Every structure is written in C-alpha cells, then in structure tokens.
C-alpha cells in the first residue's frame, strides 16, 4: 500500500480559485470539466510545476516548499513528454535515480514495470518508434516505476482510439487497485471518469463542485449522417427510454417556448450573435431535488441545441452541481434558456419540498405514505405530478373521475342512516376504495364503524388524529386513517407519529422555486 | 498553383530572370577561390607552406582559437541555459546587449577592449591585467573569445529554447534534480544546436583580425596568427606566405562548413518530436 492521503486547502493559481480537496490514501479521484476549466493547472500545482497560494499536503507532510523532484509523484502529462533521446528502458531508468531502489535493482525493476504494462518487447526502442497506445503505456510505466506515493494523470486516454483506451482503462484500474496508489485523474470524458474514479468531482471555472452521474449520459450521435444534422428522433428516444414515464408532450414543450418567444428573440437578433457556437450549463445553486431536466433538455434539443449531458429528475444535487450541459448556436440556447430554467426551477421547488416533507414524515414513521393533493397551479398538472413523484411522494387523487372521496359538501345532500349510503356507494364501485372526509373524532369513529375504507381527517389537531387512530385500533377495524389540512414540513413528523397511514398535503406546491444558475458562453 | 510535372515545377520566364543574380554571386565566389589558388604554382605553394612563418602562424592560430573556444563554451552554454529558462523584466534589454558583439565591427570591439585594459584603464587593476595580456598571445585569446562567446551564447540559447519545457517539467516530477535535468535532458536534446554554434564560433575565432590587431598587435613571429600573417606579408610584398596562409584558412573554413552541415543534419532536437 503506497498511497498517501492528499489534502488541498484554498489552493489558488492561475485560473484556480481556492480549491479544497481531500483524497483518501489509495483513492481514485476523477475530475471532469470542460477544457480551460483549470484541471491541468490543478495537477501542475500539485506536481510543483506552478507557483500557487494555499496549502498542499501529501501523507500529512506539507508539499509547498518541496521542489518537484522531492515530491515523489508519478505525473503523466497530456502530451506524455517521453524523452526522445533515450530508449524506453532509458526513460524508466531516469525515473529510478531518486527512488528507493539501488542501482543493482534497476534492471529488474524496469523489466517488471514494462512487463506490468505489457511493453517488455519495446524496451530498447526509442519512444518515437512506437504507437500512440504504446507511448501511453510507456508514460504510465515511467510514472509508476519509482513507486510514487501519488499519481497525477492528465487526460491519459484522450489521444487513443476508443478500443485501446478501453483496454488501457481496465488495466490502469487494475494496477491502481493492486498497488493501492492514490490517483488523481483529470479528463473531459464523463464515462471514463465514472468508470475509473471512486469519486468524481467537476471543475468549472477554476472551482471544484460535485459531479452527478448522468443517468442519461451522452446522447450518442456518432453514426448520424452529416456533421451538423442532429437526429432529433434518435436523441429523443434516448431521452425517453431512460427517464420516468411522466413527460410533457412535444406539443406542450413547444407551447411553452412559443409563449416566451412567439416572434423571435429580438435581443439575440439585433446583437447578431445568433450564429456563434455557444455552450450552456445549468448549475444548482442549492441543495435540491432536481425535476424537469428531461423537459429542459428536450426543449433545447427541439430548438436545435445539443445536450451533452444531464442528470435525471429525482437526482439530489449539492450546491454547485452542474446538472445539464448543452451546446449549440447562441440563438438556440438563448431561445430556450429562460423557459427551460424556469420550468426546472418551479418543478424542482416542488420536488425539493416534497422530498423534505417525505424525509420529515419518515423520520417519525418509516412506513408512512405522503401524498400530494390536486391543488397544483391550474394548468400545470403534468409537471406538478412529475415533481411530486421526483421528490419521493405520491399523488393523492389525480382527478375526480377515478377515485371516490365523499366530502361534507357531498354528505349535506344525503339523508338516512350512515350505513345505508355507505354500503350502497361501496356496491356501486366494488373495486374502488370509499374515502370519506371528516373533521370530528366521533364522526370519524362512526364512519369507520359504518365500513368506510378510508377516513380522511381534515384540519384536526395531532392529538385528535392520534385519538381516531387509537379508537380504530381498539375496535379492531381495518379502516385506513389519513390526515390532511395544514400539514407541512414543520408538523409532518408530529402527524406521522400519530400512527395514521398517510399524510395528504398541498404544501409542496407553495413556496419559492429552486435556484438554478444558467451560464451561456461562447464555445471554443 | 503552378503546373506540376514529374514532381518539379515547370520553368517560368521569371525563373530565367532570377538565375542571373544567382550566377553573378556564384561566379564571384568561384573567382575569389580561383584567384587565390592560381596565384602560386604547386611548387611555390609547398615551399610557402613549409616557411617557418607559415607554420608558426598556423600553430598559433590553432592554439589560440581552441583556447578561445573552450572559454566561449564554458561561459556561453551556462549563460544560455539561464537565459533560455528564466524570464525576468528587462530581458529585452539584456538580449540586445548580448547581441551587440555580433553586429559590432571587431575593430571597434578591439578598440574598446584596448581602452578597458590599457594603461589608462578606468579600473586600475584591469590595467595591471592588461600589462600581461596586451600585445601578447594571451591578448589574441582575449580578442577571439570576446567574439566567439556571444556566438556560442546565441546558438546555445536558441537550442535550449527549442527543447519542449514539458520534458524539463516531467523530468523534475520523476525525481531528477535541476542539475541532473540539465545534464540528462536539456544538454543532450540541445546538443545539435550547440555544436553547430561551436563550429561557427571556431570559424570566427580562426579568422578574427580586427580585434586581435587592436589588442595583440601584429608582431612577426610573436602575435602572428594566420590572418595577421596575411596582413604582414602582403604589406611587405611577400605574396607567397600570404597566399599560403589564405589557402589554409579557406580550407579550414570549408572543412568547418562541412562539419556544421553534418551536425545540422545530425541528432538535433528538431528531428525528435
């Protein structure tokens, strides 16, 4: 076990703005991000190749005052920098000068390392006379041969064809696991990062932020004919296959965009920037449960943009998480920026509140159900249902057509004994549950005795709900008791503790939208 | 695009016009060489080459130029390495200053040297040093190394700058100390460029005349290098020794030219990448 713990505190250099980082001994941290975000700079700073502010510790010892050659690291830069005037074995030999190995051990050590990377046959060749994949192996072997306590890999597979890269990735991970070598790898390839890293962070504008594994990763379009002809059908099918069944239709998405941009985007047009290639990122400014990212992605695609990656609805994001990246013309991105962002913000607000309420209720009673009412803002049912679901809650009633809930406003029209209309109603819809709402403990008990399936207690204090549950239990009835009216994240735990089966709430719909930052920049 | 036939561009009327200046240049060079070679019969040349004065000049030129070259490499290569890697404010000024000896007429450089270490030197200790150096073979070395050092410095700096700094950075992370990086990475990779500069500097030292005349004077059989021998013998009308020395210089220059070509095509950093 060679690996040392690595800790960075407030490291600033060039584009880097106060990077904090902790890597456990033997950990494999992958850092993703667009080019120019500061990934390579970070590695250079750790390798001691760039002046910086802030502290770097490796194995508990400060790195700041150590020159690069005393840091005992294995650094593989993006362009490898194999020494052209030395043979491949000679390249490795140079790296052994400062290692713990004695000169007599060098030949054996070099042979073993070349063997580990399966390039023994190349030992006496010059680096210029081997293939790209072999050069990559040489660079890895040279970095490993001195038994470093930290590996720094800068885009180690970017110059390789996909097959070679995949094979080498597997080998690298195996070597890492065998040696227990602390490794930092930067890459722009998200798949690679999540395949190799046991932790993945994202670098954006010189800062590290959490990265989410995109459930609908990349929209593969390599096989699409024509360079600038996105295949919307193919992109969309990928999007829909892997996401939840609740989606807004294309017509609904088009209508939303049309409301915002009925006759063109005047600002983008008069500035004449529409044709410029651009890149757009959506970042969560706060902890939230994401919802509507699929819709946002599809809006962008329908406007002609190209979604690089996005995280699915239901993903819990930390502040600073980038959950959607898209490219395209400035016109396409500006056309859909606000409307897609707003949709995500409102939907994520609902999902986040639902998620919090579920967490609060389950804290008191792990088995309790949480359902949201149909008091969503009129006209937004589909996305509201999606948000409730994303937050981990369920829908109470989707509408009037398929569930039976008798309110006092219905009972005002009924006469005769309770048992009569209850049994008549149950016979009418034998396959459905009969729910009746009540705001009184005694009335609720009477309803339960009369055979109602579900008694919904409206705006009753916590003690009264507990009393109804106790009475139903004492009577040995199977009546389901649910609580509704005024239930919110503050009192959800108290209501859940009463023993009722379900909390019904509208509070998820009311509150501020989640906070999302969208940045559009020229690409290139 | 000009029409291409058999891998060669077709001859245009412009090409024919342009051949003329080329022919003039070529003919002038051939004429100069021919003028020197044809001046003496082979017998006269052999006799002149065996003159005591010719042999003295040849020996003195070789000794002084090689010592000067050693000084130039010892000073020029390390200075070039520093200049190639460090960027400090005022670098442009330093660079221009270092280029000055390349464009300064050697006679002027010699005059400056003479004043700095002459009897009326502004720095008295230098005057004492000057008493030893001036008008002696050591003065020749001073003049030649002054000229040769900047040539080595220039070409070595260019050679070091051409080495990808990535090699240096990676070598550092692999545990090589800065001195070891210089020896194992930078020097081998810059060797071709440095060697070409050394050959050029040697040629300049061999042919040095103006600065040597100022600092060492032209004393027969004392400070008489090959150029000086030509000057002294032409002045007294003894063309035999002058032409023999001139031919020796020319032959040496030609050999050095060949050597430089060989080095330029040899293992230099440009051929790796």
B164: chain A residues, CB-CB within 8 Å: 81
Nearest Cα residue to A109 out of A124, A122, A97, A126:
A97
- Cβ-contact B153, B80 below 8 angstroms: yes
- Tokens 């490219």 belong to which residue? A327
Q: Using an 8 Å CB-CB cutoff, list chain A residues near B178.
A: 67, 69
Confirm whether B31 is domain-assigned: no
**B99-144 pLDDT, tens per residue?**
898 889 999 999 999 999 888 888 888 888 888 888 899 999 999 9
Question: Mutating which of A45, A46, A63, A69 best tests the B interface, going by the most B Cβ atoms within 10 A?
Answer: A69
Exposed / middle / buried, residue B92 (Cβ in 10 Å: 0-12, 13-18, 19+): exposed
pLDDT band at residue A215 using 50, 70 and 90 as cut-offs: low
Domain contains B16: no
How many CB atoms neighbour CB A339 within 10 A?
A: 20
- Count of CB atoms within 10 A of residue A1's CB? 9
φ/ψ of A372, rounded to 5, equals -100, 150
Q: How far apart are CA B85 and CA B164, in angstroms?
A: 11
Coil vs helix vs strand at A461: coil
Q: B190 CB near a chain A CB, below 8 Å?
A: no
- Low pLDDT (below 70) residues in chain B: 1-8, 264-273
Q: What is the pLDDT of residues A391-418, one digit of tens each?
A: 999 999 999 999 999 999 999 999 889 9
Instruction: Output the pLDDT for position B190.
Output: 94
Question: Nearest Cα to A23, choosing from A134, A133, A150?
Answer: A150
A87 compared with B269, residue with greater pLDDT: A87
| Domains in chain B, number | 1
Inter-chain touch A48–B173, beta carbons under 8 Å: yes
Interface residues from chain A to B (CB-CB < 8 Å): 44, 47-49, 67-75, 77, 79, 81, 83-85, 94-95, 97-99, 128, 142-143, 146, 152
Give pLDDT tens digits for B3-16: 444 556 788 888 88
Give the Cα-Cα-Cα angle A450, A451, A457 (nearest 5 degrees).
85
| Res. A491: pLDDT tops 80 | yes
CB A154 within 8 A of CB A43: yes
Residue A235 C-alpha, separation from nearest chain B C-alpha, in angstroms: 41
Q: Residue B34 domain-assigned?
A: no
Q: How far apart are CA B120 and CA B126, in angstroms?
A: 10
Q: What is the pLDDT of residues A12-62, one digit of tens each?
A: 888 898 899 989 898 999 998 888 889 999 999 999 999 889 889 888 888
Please write down the HEC assignment for all residues of chain B: CCCEECCEECCCHHHHHHHHHHHHHHHHHHHHHHHHHCCCCHHHHHHHHCCHHHHHHHHHHHHHHHHHHHHHHHHHHHHHHHHHHCCCCCHHHHHHHHHHHHHCCHHHHHHHHHHHHCCCCCCHHHHHHHHHHCCCHHHHHHHHHHHHHHHHHHHHHHHHHCCCHHHHHHHHHCCCCHHHHHHHHHHHHHHHHHHHHHHHHHHHHHHCCHHHHHHHCCCCCCCCCHHHHHHHHHHCCCHHHHHHHHHHHHHHHHHHHHHHHHHHCCCCHHHCC
Q: In what order do the strands lie in the sheet with A6-13?
A: A16-23, A6-13, A53-58, A61-62
Any chain A CB within 8 A of the CB of B251? no
Compare CB distances from B166 to A79, A142, A146 and report the shortest one's residue.
Answer: A79
Determine the pLDDT at residue A229: 35
Contact between A344 and A514 (Cβ < 8 Å): yes
The minimum CA-CA distance between B44 and chain A, rounded to whole Å, is 51
Residue with tokens 């207690």: A457
Q: Which residues of A touch B166 (CB under 8 A)?
A: 77, 79, 81
Cα B11 from Cα B18, distance rounded (Å): 11
Interface mutation vs chain A, best among B85, B172, B173, most A CBs within 10 Å: B173
Q: Is residue B165 part of a domain?
A: yes
| Pairwise CB contact (< 8 Å): A68 & B169 | yes
Residue A195: what pLDDT?
85
Residue B214, domain CATH: 1.10.3720.10
In a domain, B17, yes or no: no
Question: Per the domain annotation, does B229 fall within a domain?
Answer: yes
In this prediction, residue B195 carries a pLDDT of: 92
Residue B5 lies in a domain: no
- Section A298-321 average pLDDT: 88
Specify whether the CB–CB gap between B134 and B215 falls below 8 A: yes
* Cβ contact B172–A73 (<8 Å): no
Task: Please provide the distance, in angstroms rounded to a whole number, between the alpha carbons at the two ends of chain B.
Answer: 31
Residue A144 CA: distances (Å) to CA of A2, A99, A168, A307, B176? 11, 11, 15, 38, 15
Contact check, Cβ <8 Å, B175/A146: yes
**What per-residue confidence (pLDDT) applies to A225?**
34
- Percent of chain A past pLDDT 90, that is, above it, reads 64
Q: Which residues of A179-210 are buried (b: 16+ CB within 10 A; e: fewer)?
A: bebbbbbbbebbbbbbebbeebbbbbbbbbbe
Q: Which domains does chain A have, with CATH numbers?
A: 27-50+65-204 (3.40.50.300), 232-358+514-522 (3.90.1170.20), 362-509 (3.20.20.70)
The count of CB pairs under 8 A between chains A and B is 73
Domain that holds residue B261: 42-271
According to DSSP, the β-strands at A73-76 and A61-62 are unpaired
Please answer whether residues A298 and A242 qualify as being in contact, where contact means their C-beta atoms are separated by less than 8 angstroms.
no
Interface check B183 vs A, CB under 8 A: no
Residue B251 lies in a domain: yes
Across the interface, whether the CB atoms of B188 and A72 are under 8 A apart is answered: no
Cα gap B23→A308, rounded to integer Å: 64
CA distance B167 to chain A (A): 5
Residue of A nearest to B268 (CA): A85
Residue A217 clears pLDDT 50, i.e. is over it: no
**Nearest CA among A336, A316, A162 for reference residue A261:** A336
**Cβ B116 vs Cβ B126: under 8 Å:** yes
Q: Which residue, among B222, B242, B241, has the nearest Cα to B230 in the 3D structure?
A: B242
Asked whether the beta carbons of residue B176 and residue A81 sit closer than 8 angstroms, the reply is no
Residue A216 pLDDT > 60:
no
Backbone angle region of A484, left / alpha / beta, with phi > 0 → left and psi within -120 to 50 → alpha: beta
> What residues contact residue A2 under an 8 Å CB cut-off, 6+ apart?
A147, A148, A149, A179, A180, A181, A182
- What does DSSP assign to residue A290? -
Chain B, nearest residue to A151 by Cα:
B173
Residues of chain A contacting B173 with CB distance shorter than 8 Å: 47-49, 68-69, 71, 73-75, 152
Q: Which of A233, A494, A509, A265 has its CA nearest to residue A379?
A: A509
Q: Is the minimum CB–CB distance between B102 and chain A shorter than 8 Å?
A: no
Q: What are the b/e assignments for B17-52, b being 16+ CB within 10 Å?
A: eeeeeeeeeeeeeeeeeeebeebbeeeebeebbebe
Question: Are the C-beta atoms of A308 and A203 separated by less than 8 Å?
Answer: no
Of A49, A84, A99, the CB nearest to B175: A99
- Which of A49, A53, A6 lies closest to A31, judged by CA? A6
Q: Give the closest-approach CA distance of B159 to chain A in angstroms.
A: 15
Instruction: Count CB neighbours of A262 within 10 A.
Output: 7
Q: Where is average pLDDT lowest: A67-71, A122-126, A167-171, B146-150?
A: A167-171
- Model pLDDT, residue A132: 87
The sign of the dihedral angle between the CA atoms of A122, A123, A125, A126 is positive
User: Which is it for the CA torsion B249, B252, B254, B260, positive or negative?
Assistant: negative
* pLDDT one-digit tens code per residue, A415-436: 889 999 999 999 999 999 999 9
CA-nearest of A331, A248, A229 to A294 is: A248
* CB-CB neighbors (< 8 A) of B169 in chain A: 44, 47, 49, 68, 77, 81
Q: What's the sign of the alpha-carbon dihedral A88, B172, A147, A176?
A: negative
Query: Cβ–Cβ of A47/B166 closer than 8 Å?
Result: no
**CB-based contact (8 Å) between B167 and chain A?**
yes
The nearest CA of chain A is from the CA of B262 a distance in Å of 18
């Amino acid at each position: 076990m060679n690996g040392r713990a690595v800790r960075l505190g407030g490291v600033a250099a060039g584009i880097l703005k106060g990077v904090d980082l902790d890597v456990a001994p033997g950990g494999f941290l992958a850092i993703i991000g667009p080019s120019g975000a500061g990934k390579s700079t970070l590695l250079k700073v750790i390798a001691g190749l760039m002046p910086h502010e802030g502290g770097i510790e490796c194995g508990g010892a400060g790195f700041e005052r150590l020159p690069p050659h005393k840091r005992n690291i294995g650094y593989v830069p993006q362009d490898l920098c194999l020494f052209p005037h030395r043979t491949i074995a000679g390249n490795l030999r140079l790296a052994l000068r400062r290692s713990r190995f004695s000169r007599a051990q060098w030949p054996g050590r070099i042979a073993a390392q070349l063997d580990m990377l399966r390039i023994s046959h190349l030992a006496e060749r010059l680096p210029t006379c081997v293939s790209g994949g072999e050069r990559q192996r040489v660079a890895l072997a040279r970095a490993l041969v001195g038994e470093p306590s930290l590996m720094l890999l800068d885009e180690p597979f970017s110059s390789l064809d996909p097959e070679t890269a995949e094979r080498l990735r597997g080998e690298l991970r195996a070597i890492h696991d065998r040696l227990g070598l602390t490794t930092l790898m930067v890459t722009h390839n998200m798949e690679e990062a999540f395949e190799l890293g046991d932790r993945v962070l994202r670098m954006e504008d010189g800062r590290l932020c959490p990265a989410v594994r995109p459930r609908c990763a990349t929209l593969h379009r390599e096989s699409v004919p024509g360079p600038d002809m996105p295949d919307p059908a193919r992109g969309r099918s990928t999007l829909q296959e892997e996401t939840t069944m609740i989606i807004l239709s294309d017509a609904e998405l088009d209508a939303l965009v049309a409301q915002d941009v009925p006759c063109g985007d005047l600002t983008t047009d008069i500035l004449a920037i529409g044709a410029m290639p651009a890149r757009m990122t959506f970042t969560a400014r706060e902890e939230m449960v994401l919802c509507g990212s699929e819709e946002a992605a599809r809006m962008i695609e329908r406007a002609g943009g190209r979604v690089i990656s996005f995280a699915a609805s239901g993903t819990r994001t930390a502040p600073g998480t980038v959950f959607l990246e898209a490219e395209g013309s400035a016109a396409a991105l500006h056309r859909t920026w606000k409307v897609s962002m707003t949709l995500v913000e409102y939907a994520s607000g609902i999902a986040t509140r639902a998620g919090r309420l579920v967490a609060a209720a389950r804290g008191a009673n792990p088995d309790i159900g949480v359902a949201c009412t149909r008091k969503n803002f009129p006209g937004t049912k589909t996305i509201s249902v999606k948000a409730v679901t994303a937050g981990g809650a369920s829908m109470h009633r989707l509408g009037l057509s398929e569930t039976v809930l008798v309110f006092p406003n219905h009972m005002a029209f009924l006469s005769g004994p309770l048992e009569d209309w209850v049994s008549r109603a149950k016979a009418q819809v034998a396959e459905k549950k009969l729910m009746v709402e009540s705001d009184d403990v005694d009335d609720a008990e009477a309803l339960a005795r009369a055979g109602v399936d579900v008694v919904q207690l409206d705006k009753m204090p916590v003690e009264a709900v507990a009393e109804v549950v106790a009475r139903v239990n004492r009577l040995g009835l199977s009546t389901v008791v649910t609580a509704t009216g005024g239930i919110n994240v503050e009192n959800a735990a108290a209501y859940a503790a009463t023993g009722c089966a379900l909390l019904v709430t509208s509070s998820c719909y009311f509150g501020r939208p989640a906070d999302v930052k969208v940045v559009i920049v020229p690409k290139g | 695009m000009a029409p291409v036939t058999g891998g060669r561009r077709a001859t245009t009327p412009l090409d024919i016009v342009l051949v003329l200046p080329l022919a003039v240049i070529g003919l002038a060079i051939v004429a100069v060489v021919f003028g020197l070679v044809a001046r003496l019969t082979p017998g006269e040349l052999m006799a002149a080459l065996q003159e005591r004065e010719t042999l003295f000049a040849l020996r003195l030129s070789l000794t002084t130029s090689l010592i000067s070259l050693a000084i130039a490499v010892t000073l020029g290569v390390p200075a070039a390495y520093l200049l190639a890697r460090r960027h400090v404010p005022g670098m442009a000024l330093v660079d221009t200053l270092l280029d000055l000896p390349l464009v300064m007429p050697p006679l002027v450089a010699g005059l400056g040297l003479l004043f700095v270490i002459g009897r009326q030197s502004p720095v008295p200790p230098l005057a004492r040093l000057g008493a030893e150096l001036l008008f002696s073979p050591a003065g020749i070395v001073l003049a030649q190394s002054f000229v040769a050092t900047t040539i080595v410095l220039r070409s070595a700096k260019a050679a070091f700058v051409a080495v990808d700094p990535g090699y240096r950075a990676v070598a550092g992370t692999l545990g090589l100390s800065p001195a070891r990086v210089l020896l194992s990475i930078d020097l081998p990779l810059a060797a071709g460029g440095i060697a070409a500069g050394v050959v050029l500097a040697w040629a300049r030292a061999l042919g040095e005349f103006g600065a040597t005349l100022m600092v060492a004077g032209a004393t027969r059989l004392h400070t008489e290098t090959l150029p000086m021998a030509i000057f002294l013998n032409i002045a007294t009308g003894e063309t035999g020794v002058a032409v023999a020395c001139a031919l020796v210089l020319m032959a040496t220059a030609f050999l050095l030219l060949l050597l430089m070509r060989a080095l330029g095509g040899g293992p230099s950093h440009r051929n790796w990448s």
